[in-house]
Chains A and B, each alone.
Chain A
């Protein structure tokens, strides 16, 4: 009987999953990477279907394509490397500072400001499971319903 009388609030807290440091970092990194993205939607021209009745000149089109691809192949290989690959190459070739990595500013000496992840105003509280900031019960509710522990990496 005794354990049945325990309050439901305590129970709920015990069931809550708390993200560990590594997971929080991973989420943060993901959010930062999103700030670097060019687009959040798919190429609107990716799946273009021409009109059904439009004549298909497949043979000619294909041979044209093949030609072009052959021509541009070496160009592509040489000139299409992404940023990470280029940075690695650069570090291998010449590693003494000053260089790209050494130029980055260190962390600030000043303490971080904390803002509510929901409304953007200064916040005093931290969400226990995920570590996001919130400022009032209302915002905590919104946060729990929408972002907290959802889409966890």
Chain B
């Protein structure tokens, strides 16, 4: 038996919220922030309203999340008001069950606030608070019914989590967190480009696009390094990136290798991306490069698996699942595989899965979960909340 009311799935990320009714084919992705533009002084933009803005240079961000945890409810409420309201989904709260995601080890006070706001401010019919990784694992098991274990690597905006799941249940003592995420990468890129070439500290939005357009994970680090040192035609890594000026060029773009000269044409402004292209994502694999004394992703995977019972270890190595925005970097999967292969005991098979869209994978897991027969047992309805209070929610939702 599935749920008897409509289900709305909200994967509430620190950078974007992936949201939509469980019956939709794809979620809508809305930036989870309020932004202010220099060119548009009359109003701040909530979520994806920023798409209406023509000149987004020097965009100012107000984010509800801090280090991956929801702290600024005033901002979050405005974004939710917009998302749930008539501009976007026009939700009938009394007839809707909400599945919302939370980070691992979410603080009790944040859980309480969230429950209270969703039930008392918005008056949802029922609620399920859950980790995004649990949804990913759910979908992975649906797609691979023969596998009982799964190791979710969730590399998002604020941090990267590595979580082993056995039969859909997370092993809490083996959860590992690396405090490096997409935000640190973008800020680091801004930092080095501003120091070496052009002041771009104010251009988070543009530099994030640069990162997404030209950065990749190196699979032969030393080789790439030596190629990047070369001059002229021998350097096959260097690229010119044409920055947007928001009059003629609406969005920045990479110039193909053949046209890379290092000289701007006409009135363009360019930045040269050389070793920056792979040095920035490299932070995920060697956080110590910027002085974060933590393991990289492959080492942390092994570290996490070693904390699990020995009999499940081979199954975890065989079912590594990559999700989150950083998994979109080219060659991310290849690199994770080759490094884990090198670190893992040789008698275990290693297999890494990269979904087609690692960003929305968890959301789809949520929409699958709503059709599951277990779902009605997992949710808390508003009625139950009113009768039993907050403690029921804290007990039932194990995040």
Contact = CB atoms under 8 A, between A and B. Distances in A.
Do A and B form a real pair? yes
A112 B289 contact: yes
Choose among A38, A79, A83, A105 the residue with the greatest number of B CB atoms under 10 Å from its CB: A105
A120 B275 contact: yes
B120 to A, nearest CB: 12
Interface stretch (A4-12, A13-21, A41-49, A53-61): A41-49
Interface of B: 36-38, 41, 44, 58, 60-63, 66-67, 69, 71-74, 104-105, 107-110, 113, 161, 172-173, 175-179, 183-184, 187-188, 190-192, 195-196, 201-202, 204, 225, 228-229, 274-276, 279, 286-296, 299-300, 303
Given A41-B60, A115-B279, A35 B107 contact: no
B309 to A, nearest CB: 15
B225 A122 contact: yes
A43 B294 contact: no
B38 A44 contact: yes
Contacts of B60: 39, 41, 43-45
A138 interface: no
A116 B104 CA distance: 36
Interface of A: 28, 31-32, 34-41, 43-45, 48, 72, 75-76, 78-83, 86-87, 89-90, 93-94, 97-100, 103-110, 112-113, 115, 118-122, 146-147
Given A89-B107, A98-B173, A82 B71 contact: yes
Contacts of B175: 98, 103
A43 B107 CA distance: 30
B60 to A, nearest CB: 6
A80 B73 contact: yes
A44 B58 contact: yes
A104 B179 contact: yes
B289 A98 contact: no
25 contacts: A36-B67, A38-B62, A40-B202, A41-B60, A44-B36, A44-B41, A45-B36, A45-B44, A75-B73, A76-B74, A79-B74, A83-B69, A86-B71, A86-B109, A86-B110, A93-B108, A97-B173, A98-B173, A103-B175, A105-B294, A108-B286, A113-B289, A119-B196, A119-B275, A120-B192
Q: Which 8 residue pairs of A and B lie closest in terms of their CB atoms, listed nearest first?
A: A79-B73, A40-B201, A83-B66, A107-B293, A90-B107, A41-B202, A105-B295, A112-B288
A13 B62 CA distance: 47
A81 B71 contact: yes
A112 B276 CA distance: 18
A105 B105 contact: no
B62 to A, nearest CB: 7
Contacts of A35: 183-184, 187-188, 191, 290
B71 A109 contact: no
What is the predominant secondary structure among interface residues of chain A facing chain B?
loop
Contacts of B38: 44
A118 B192 CA distance: 8
B65 to A, nearest CB: 9
A90 B108 contact: yes
A120 B224 CA distance: 13
A19 B173 CA distance: 40
Given A32-B290, A121-B275, 20 more contacts: A31-B290, A34-B191, A37-B187, A41-B58, A41-B202, A44-B36, A45-B60, A83-B69, A83-B71, A86-B69, A98-B175, A100-B105, A103-B104, A104-B177, A105-B176, A105-B177, A105-B178, A105-B300, A108-B287, A119-B275
